[in-house]
Amino acid sequence: MSEALSDTVTLSIENGVAVVLIDNPPVNALGLSVRQGLSAAADRIAGDDAIKAAVISAKGRTFPAGADIAEFAIGMREPWLPGVIQKIESLEKPVVAAIFGTALGGGLELALGCHYRVAAMSAKMGLPEVQLGLLPGAGGTQRLPRLIGAERALQMMATGKPVKAPVAKQMGLVDKVVADDTLMAEAAAMATAAIAHEGPLPRVSEKDDVIAKDKADAGLFDRFVAENGRLFRGVIAPEQILHSVKAAVSLPFAEGMKAEAENFGKLFTSDQSRALRHVFFAMRETTKVPDIAKDTPLIDVKSVGVIGAGTMGGGIAMCFANIGIPVKIVEVKAEALERGLGVIRKNYEGTAKKGRLTAEDVETRMGLLTGTLDMEDLSDVDLVIEAVFESMEIKEKVFSRLDKICKPGAIMASNTSFLDIDHIATFTSRPEMVLGLHYFSPANVMPLLEVVRGAKSSDSVVATGMKLATKIGKTPVLARVCDGFIANRLMYPYMVSSQEMLLAGTPMQVIDAAMRDYGFAMGPIALLDLIGLDVITFPGEMTMTGELVAQERRGQKLNGGFYDYDEKRKGTPSPAALDIVDKVRKHRGIAGDHELSPEQVVAGLLYPVVHEGAKILEEGIALRAGDIDVAAILGYNWPAYQGGPMCWADIHGLSKIVAGLEAMGLKPAELLKNLAAEGGSFT
């Protein structure tokens, strides 16, 4: 008989062993009622003589995957998790954690508070709090080093990467790893065996043999920082994790816990954590389309056709071959087809060289790709994705032919990055089957897929597009039709403003450094060089990119661009480009003496992005501000710890942005102005 201790925790007793089960779907997060239930369980275990030992585990798919992140925003109530875990560890009867699924964050900390840990073979364990801009705040920074040593603990906490059960066993993180289907029986047996065990219970907080070595190693922390510099760049949580682990090594447990709580508090209220928590939920929300019913029938996509074997087409084809779906690739000329297939093979072989694919995988995937010069061969595929040259005339030719070739029920998609999907749909007799699937280059790598919903696209077609995106490992963001959809439209003003700023007198390296300091991997001018100067067209009759291209400088791919590049791809401002900057200034009558500070650069480049984002929302192109943030983060490497443009705007201050835009001579979007006026926010 099991007894409910709270809405989400039950206890049953079998042969003197109390089995405490958490049942809080979907991931058994440690919300208020779970903490209440666990606290009550500890009281019961302590006070009931019929109970000699206990097992803590969960129902459903996983041992708790952490604190309830949703609760952070609404304010947490007692009992707090660190106290609950302490109460369990202090029990005088043995408690075993039976771990399966993903024991993450507070979930793993709960397991660390138990006296013994047994894990299912398929389980994973980790402390991913850093990815939310936090640190493990329920004793994790104090107990983990005592168990596996400070260095490994730092590694796990600063990267947030989980380890698999066998590795956890090797590290000493768990006592035993067992076959998945025997977990509960093994845990009960372990608890029963522990009843007979004499001497004090093994409490991690009382262990000091492992960290004794760390205490003696004076250079440990400096070494960790020196070897892992990139983990600390821009973000504040790793530093606080480091301080907390230092406390674990140098202070008694209780004092270390105080230090951990203090450091957790600093992060909890930080802008970075607010931003990263927003991103966590935004990433998971993009698949939700409010006006499409959950039970909308999906179209079964068992085969795909891709038109165009260029860089885009090839990358798109790989996405499907990677998950075992056969792809027919159509080209006009045999050489282009051969070249395209050759590039794909080289790509796969490169991955195999890095050890991430076997030679057999390469052949299996290549075996799923068939090249053809005849579009008629697409008569039996379930989905066609067109990735040909961006010209409406060519799209017309392709889609009107596809309309004749494709079987009824086949989806016809375009990978266009700016052309009107609704217009493309008119080239067919079945506009409801047409949508945009906009990949980012390289298509097999970039995690974003914009699913573009035409005015007539059917719900089934849209729902299938969204589902398919997750199947091929992408995060879909739904967009309505407009020039540039979400990510490219959003970032165009950023690129344009960077050109204007350079002409007005801020040196390119100052612009780029300001945006690197903000958190981008590279600034906008260097980014242009990387994308290629012939890819984006800027307004004005004489543009710097136009002049550079006229000199055969197309960026990193050809002769350098704004920068000259050495063999290590390190760029220095090019004298040729500086001449062109001068030439364009003269032509346009710009003095070029207006140099901005780094803060002004950030404002000058990002305020126009926020303005554009507000228009994208206003026009209903994106469903939510969070979708825009996800598109910027996944499509343009916007630093996640800044939350994406809309969340950043909320944190930065909407009124400040409105005033800044007006000072730049721009009329802020209505939505932005209204939100600023009423003290509202995008996210």
Residues recognised as catalytic? 109, 129
Asked if 238 interacts with ligand 3H9 (CB under 6 A), we say no
Is 651 exposed, middle or buried, given 0-12, 13-18 or 19+ CB atoms closer than 10 A? middle
Looking at the Cβ atoms of 26 and 539, the one nearer to ligand 3H9 is 26
Task: With H, G, I as helix, E, B as strand and everything else as coil, classify residue 316.
Answer: helix
Do the Cβ atoms of 212 and 150 come closer than 8 Å? no
297 vs 384: CA distance, rounded Å: 19
Report the site for ligand 3H9 in 103-132 (rule: CB under 6 A): 104-106, 109, 128-129, 132
| Closest CB 10 distance from ligand 3H9, rounded Å | 21
Asked if 102 interacts with ligand 3H9 (CB under 6 A), we say yes
94 vs 365: CA distance, rounded Å: 51
Asked if 136 interacts with ligand 3H9 (CB under 6 A), we say yes
Q: Give how many residues touch ligand 3H9 by CB under 6 A.
A: 25
Helices (H), 421-458: 421-425
Backbone angles phi, psi at 26, to 5 degrees: -85, -20
| Closest CB 681 distance from ligand 3H9, rounded Å | 20
Among 11, 53, 58, 69, binds ligand 3H9 (CB under 6 A): 69
Asked if 37 interacts with ligand 3H9 (CB under 6 A), we say no
Asked if 245 interacts with ligand 3H9 (CB under 6 A), we say no
623 vs 486: CA distance, rounded Å: 11
Asked if 81 interacts with ligand 3H9 (CB under 6 A), we say yes
Asked if 67 interacts with ligand 3H9 (CB under 6 A), we say yes
279 alpha-carbon distance from chain centroid: 8
Do the Cβ atoms of 642 and 648 come closer than 8 Å? yes
| Closest CB 63 distance from ligand 3H9, rounded Å | 10
659 vs 388: CA distance, rounded Å: 43
| DSSP-derived secondary structure letter, 555 | B
Do the Cβ atoms of 162 and 128 come closer than 8 Å? yes
Asked if 70 interacts with ligand 3H9 (CB under 6 A), we say yes
Helices (H), 251-383: 253-268, 271-285, 311-321, 334-353, 359-367
Among 18, 20, 29, 188, binds ligand 3H9 (CB under 6 A): 29
Task: With H, G, I as helix, E, B as strand and everything else as coil, classify residue 118.
Answer: strand
Looking at the Cβ atoms of 138 and 461, the one nearer to ligand 3H9 is 138
Q: Of 23, 125, 129, which Cα lies nearest the Cα of 67?
A: 129
Asked if 229 interacts with ligand 3H9 (CB under 6 A), we say no
Among 17, 27, 289, 385, binds ligand 3H9 (CB under 6 A): 27
187 vs 63: CA distance, rounded Å: 14
Looking at the Cβ atoms of 106 and 305, the one nearer to ligand 3H9 is 106
Instruction: Single out the segment in contact with ligand 3H9 by CB under 6 A; choices: 62-70, 334-342, 590-598, 608-616.
Output: 62-70
| Closest CB 107 distance from ligand 3H9, rounded Å | 7
Asked if 476 interacts with ligand 3H9 (CB under 6 A), we say no
List residues bridging with 11 in a β-sheet.
3, 20
| Closest CB 26 distance from ligand 3H9, rounded Å | 4
Looking from the CA of 644 toward its CB, the CA atoms found within 13 Å total: 30
| Closest CB 473 distance from ligand 3H9, rounded Å | 12
In this structure, the strands spanning 124-126 and 475-480 are unpaired
Asked if 137 interacts with ligand 3H9 (CB under 6 A), we say yes
Is 239 exposed, middle or buried, given 0-12, 13-18 or 19+ CB atoms closer than 10 A? middle
Looking at the Cβ atoms of 128 and 561, the one nearer to ligand 3H9 is 128
Report the site for ligand 3H9 in 357-416 (rule: CB under 6 A): none
| Count of positions (residues) in the chain | 683
Looking at the Cβ atoms of 61 and 594, the one nearer to ligand 3H9 is 61
Pull the structure tokens for residue 435: 């949508």
Do the Cβ atoms of 443 and 316 come closer than 8 Å? yes
Report the site for ligand 3H9 in 601-630 (rule: CB under 6 A): none
571 vs 299: CA distance, rounded Å: 48
| Per-residue contact flags (x/-) with ligand 3H9 for residues 256 to 295, judged by CB under 6 A | -------------------------x--x-----------
| Closest CB 321 distance from ligand 3H9, rounded Å | 23
| Closest CB 275 distance from ligand 3H9, rounded Å | 15
280 vs 67: CA distance, rounded Å: 14
Among 66, 484, 561, 660, binds ligand 3H9 (CB under 6 A): 66
Looking at the Cβ atoms of 192 and 286, the one nearer to ligand 3H9 is 286
Strands ordered across the beta sheet of 2-4 = 2-4, 9-14, 17-22, 53-58, 95-99, 116-120, 176-178
| Closest CB 22 distance from ligand 3H9, rounded Å | 13
Looking at the Cβ atoms of 70 and 521, the one nearer to ligand 3H9 is 70
Encode burial over 469-508: b for 16+ CB neighbours within 10 A, e otherwise. beebebbbbbbbbbebbbbbbbbbbbbbbbbbbbbbbbbb
Looking at the Cβ atoms of 402 and 469, the one nearer to ligand 3H9 is 469
Pull the structure tokens for residue 604: 């000058």
Backbone angles phi, psi at 301, to 5 degrees: -100, 100
Looking at the Cβ atoms of 14 and 285, the one nearer to ligand 3H9 is 285
Looking at the Cβ atoms of 285 and 483, the one nearer to ligand 3H9 is 285
| Closest CB 676 distance from ligand 3H9, rounded Å | 29
List contacts with ligand 3H9 (CB under 6 A).
Answer: 26-27, 29, 65-70, 81, 102, 104-106, 109, 128-129, 132, 134, 136-138, 140, 281, 284
